[in-house]
Amino acid sequence: MATNQEMIGRDELDDLEAILSITNSDVNEIQHVIRANSDTLFTWDYEQSREPLIKLYEKAKTSQWNATTDLDWSLPVDQAAQVLANAQANVNGPFSGGLDLKGTPFESWTDDQWIQLGIEGQNWTLSQFLHGEQGALICTAQIVETVPWIDAKYYAATQVMDEARHVEVFARYLDEKMSGHYPINAHLKMLLDDIIKDTRWDMTYLGMQIMVEGLALAAFGFIHQLTTEPLLKKLLRYVMSDEARHVAFGVLSLKEFYTELDSHEIRERQEFAFEAAVRMRDRFLQQEVWEKMGVDVKEAMSLVIQDEGRVMFQSLLFSKIVPNCKKLGLLDAGDGWLRTKFTELGVIQFEDWVDTSDEYASLDEVAKDRDAATA
């Protein structure tokens, strides 16, 4: 059994020194090379025998959208106004849980500084979404090569197109509507590297389709509910439609495959899921934003991890991951190791929320818009 030190490089989940020791060593790099040694599989069996994947593939073919023509890019975006609206709603702020800031650097902050922090948070969040979507683009192209079933190759090919569109749309929104880009967060970069380097096709599924895409789906949903900015709201609705299918693709494919694995192989998947969960949680501490604001990063992060509002927001990001892991049998396999670890992370309460393989059709906003237009 692997220890926390072996999996995530530290014994304690909230060891700030260890979290901050992971940094992006080259923020100015244009290209990042990962050597992947996965086998590329041809299959000469063209029979489509997996009905759930066929259904998903048909749904994907009719749910395509065009980022250029289906979104109104002429709409203006006022970042400061969005920050103020979020503050009035008292959600998703850095200290939204009523934490006492007396004696901290934030005690004397002006309204302008708080607004700028919110703007930088927007820039950072959309930047990480952009980088994560490119990771999904690369991983899904890898799945087309490595998955052994023709049904899955067909669907994964549609997801490659989806992910290209997501990279396009987030890049354009950042360029035209936001006020700055951030490089990829070191924890996210480390996770993407690990997913891409693993030679087992199901680990690509687990890392990207279940963990990264599952968290993204929850994050998109949260921001979609929060924002009143119409362009971002519609953009996220469309992206969520795609993401729900992507996560369902992972659940439907892995559920079948995991029944064939022995207890040692399942434990490896459990440990990988836990490591991915910690990496994604750590990236949402937004170290780069605090650095840009000129704040002592360790001091700021020590406050963030104490803030009840922020902790609640971060836990909600796992509301898709935990039930999907349960659907796959990972939560309670063996001695319930992953259940214990998710309990330590404070996210086990989501285990009985709906899993994405049962909800993706209800999130198909493209179909809803099409039906409304023809009604």
- Read off the tokens for 112: 């302008």
Contacts of 348 (CB under 8 A, 6+ apart): 322, 339, 342
* Buried b or exposed e, range 171-180, using 16+ CB within 10 angstroms: bbbbeebbee
Domain for residue 61, yes or no? no
The single-letter code of the amino acid at 348 is: I
Domain for residue 42, yes or no? no
What's residue 89's pLDDT?
67
The domain that holds 214 is classified in CATH as 1.20.1260.10
Task: Answer yes or no: are the C-beta atoms of 323 and 353 closer than 8 Å.
Answer: yes
What's residue 240's pLDDT?
94
Domain for residue 357, yes or no? yes
What's residue 45's pLDDT?
94
Per-10-residue mean pLDDT of the chain, 375 residues long, equals 89 90 83 87 93 93 95 96 80 62 87 93 96 96 95 96 98 97 94 94 95 93 90 95 94 92 96 95 90 92 80 84 95 94 94 79 66 57
Residue 274: which of 12, 7, 22 has the closest Cα?
7
Domain for residue 53, yes or no? no
Domain for residue 140, yes or no? yes
**Distance (Å, rounded) from C-alpha 70 to C-alpha 366?**
10
What's residue 35's pLDDT?
85
First-last CA distance in the chain: 57
Which residues constitute the domain of residue 225? 82-90+107-374
**Distance (Å, rounded) from C-alpha 157 to C-alpha 163?**
10
What's residue 323's pLDDT?
94
**Distance (Å, rounded) from C-alpha 58 to C-alpha 154?**
10
Domain for residue 17, yes or no? no
* Buried b or exposed e, range 318-327, using 16+ CB within 10 angstroms: bbbbbbbbbb
Residue 82: which of 108, 120, 109 has the closest Cα?
120
What's residue 176's pLDDT?
97
- Residue 296 CA, distance from chain mean position: 27
What's residue 85's pLDDT?
85
- Give the CA-trace dihedral at 220, 225, 230, 234, to 10 degrees: 40
**For 298, what's the count of Cα atoms within 13 Å in the CB-facing half-sphere?**
8
Domain for residue 145, yes or no? yes
Residue 269: which of 201, 192, 343, 185 has the closest Cα?
201
**In this structure, what DSSP letter does residue 354 have?**
P
The tally of domains found in the chain comes to 1
With vertex at residue 245, the alpha carbon angle to CA 365 and CA 190, rounded to the nearest 5 degrees, is 120
Task: Answer yes or no: are the C-beta atoms of 169 and 258 closer than 8 Å.
Answer: no
pLDDT in tens, 105-152: 888 899 999 999 999 999 999 999 999 999 999 999 999 999 999 999
Give CA separation, 269 vs 4, 36, 203, 216, 266, in Å: 15, 19, 7, 20, 5
Domain for residue 62, yes or no? no
What's residue 28's pLDDT?
80
* Whether this model's pTM surpasses 0.75: yes
